[in-house]
Chain A
Amino acid sequence: MPDPATDATLYLQSVVDKLSELSLKDPLTGLSNRRYFQNVLEREIEMVTRSGEPALLLMLDIDHFKHVNDTHGHPVGDVVLQAVAQALSDAVRPMDTVARFGGEEFVIMLPNCQGHYGSQVAERLREAVSKLSLALAGGDQLKVTISIGGAYAPRWVRSTPELWLERADVELYRAKSEGRNRVCIEPQPILAVSAEEKNLLFGPLALGDPAWIESIANDSSAQGFASASSNLN
């Protein structure tokens, strides 16, 4: 730190920098805190609204963390939180934001994350944590797992941070209720129409129903309709 006596301005600036950094960081894990993440969410919603790029929000939770605290004590719980935080940070891109949301809950913002990559990234995070092994005082190894829920930002329509978080939370709840140590991401709408869908859509066409083919191949002139409807009468 600069010497306050010789360079007061620089000293003051460094104190301010340090304080503002502290106000945005989680002291235990060194990750971004909830307050900082709120800004990240708001900014990302603006970006998605403008660009339409897919952005994924992950919400994750250490499975049976209360049990870890109850069995091994809070100091061990803290070490687990730090190890998980490190594993998460190591497994994402520099542009992504990992934050401690509270307790044993973490959130991750993945900007510009194309549909099929989302579950791959989440799966990688889940594996990274499941590979962790913490040596306990008695010589035992402690293993933990995480459950991950994810939701993409609704494109083109400006959402709110609360709604987006809620959607990711619903998926996290689903991952928990489906047995934990798994990833659940809200399904993304697929724009393309597959061959199977087309087959069923044109089912009667594919089967060669002559009446159907005739009905859509015919020039839809007034005469055609008049004769068709008079046939029915």
Chain B
Amino acid sequence: MNPPRQAPPVPPAEALTPPLKPLGKVLAVTSGKGGVGKTFVSANLAAALAKRGHKVLVLDADLGLANLDVVLNLYPKITLHDVFTGKAKLEEAIVRAPGGFSVLLAGSGMVEYSRLTPNVRDDFLRIMTGLLPHYDIVLLDTGAGISDVVLFAVSLASEVLVVATPEPTSLTDAYATIKVLVGEQKRRTLRMVINQTARMGDGRAITSQLQQVLDRFVVGKSDDKVRLVHLGDIPGDVSVRQAVMRRQLLMLTTPGCQAALAISQLAGKIEDTMITPAR
């Protein structure tokens, strides 16, 4: 939970293999469309996992337009930007979030990193490789869209969580994202969370609808199927809006509300698949 005491060993760039094999224990949270609650889900999921006793790190992988700091109301002096530019050590940039987990924030100076250059990629990979041994799970809060930075960040993760809302625009963008991840990264299992659902069962219906379109249009011809795993719904809840406006974590303000309970369940499922898989 705490930032690592000693400096994490950062291997030299040339010692690293290209990021073709995803790193274990890394969950990328992505969405396609912006404004669907991706960062909200990342932060509260991290709090729920921390509450279950895990060492969790949330990494702001939305390098160009980060807003994890806004969601958490954290404005540290030292950010990932200072690590990238060599002004600070990695452990100095890791801060403790209110929910009992660690965060590595991108910082406002990261606009120059919104393009994926080989340097940005190497820096990012070095930081990830150095941090991994110190945590039970790392959440990558990616940016909106299907930019090269988003695709790169997702390529590092062993599991992908796609956040969508029931709105048609969000579903279309989530579908486009899934298509690209299937095509470019050969992803075959993706996990879905439907945020802001109006009633029970909506999320499952939406996921199965997405699954039908994938089966028909994406790799339907072969037996090499893509599988969407419906991980859960987060019901629309006034407490969510209140927590977001106050820039507080829902898991701390109203841990008993419907949405918070849904996130706790989600954390349980992620724990089962990624941290303590069935022995």
Contact = CB atoms under 8 A, between A and B. Distances in A.
Contacts of B116: 156
Interface string B209-220: 110110011000
Contacts of B148: 52, 155-156
A85 B250 CA distance: 67
Nearest to B149: A156
Contacts of A221: 236, 238
Given A158-B118, A203-B209, A222 B179 contact: no
A162 B169 CA distance: 40
Interface string B138-167: 000000001010011001000000000111
Given A155-B148, A157-B152, A158-B19, A232 B121 contact: no
Interface stretch (B61-69, B88-96, B126-134, B170-178): B170-178
Interface of B, helix, strand, loop or mixed by DSSP = helix
A205 B116 CA distance: 38
Interface in B241-273: 257-258
Interface in B201-244: 201-202, 205, 209-210, 212-213, 216-217, 235-239
Interface string A44-65: 0010011010000000000000
B172 A157 contact: no
A6 interface: no
Nearest to A226: B258
Nearest to B176: A193
B18 A222 contact: no
B118 A201 contact: no
B274 interface: no
A50 B175 CA distance: 26
B167 A216 contact: yes
A201 B258 contact: no
Nearest to A45: B18
A200 B175 CA distance: 12
B11 interface: no
A82 to B, nearest CB: 38
B168 A202 contact: yes
Interface residues of B, number: 47
B278 interface: no
A226 B235 CA distance: 9
Given A158-B19, A222-B236, A228 B179 contact: no
A197 interface: yes
Given A50-B118, A157-B18, A220 B197 contact: yes
Nearest to A214: B198
Contact of A189 (B19, B180, B200): B180
Nearest to B155: A157
Interface in A166-205: 187-194, 196-198, 200-205
B209 A215 contact: no
A220 B236 contact: yes
B172 A198 contact: yes
Instruction: State the 4 A-B residue pairs at the shortest beta-carbon distance, nearest first.
Output: A189-B183, A220-B236, A228-B199, A225-B235
Interface of A: 46, 49-50, 52, 154-160, 163, 187-194, 196-198, 200-205, 212, 215-216, 218-226, 228-229, 231-232
Given A187-B183, A220-B196, A231-B199, 20 more contacts: A52-B148, A156-B184, A160-B18, A193-B175, A193-B179, A194-B217, A197-B213, A200-B212, A200-B216, A200-B217, A201-B168, A201-B210, A202-B171, A204-B209, A215-B198, A216-B167, A216-B202, A222-B238, A224-B236, A229-B258
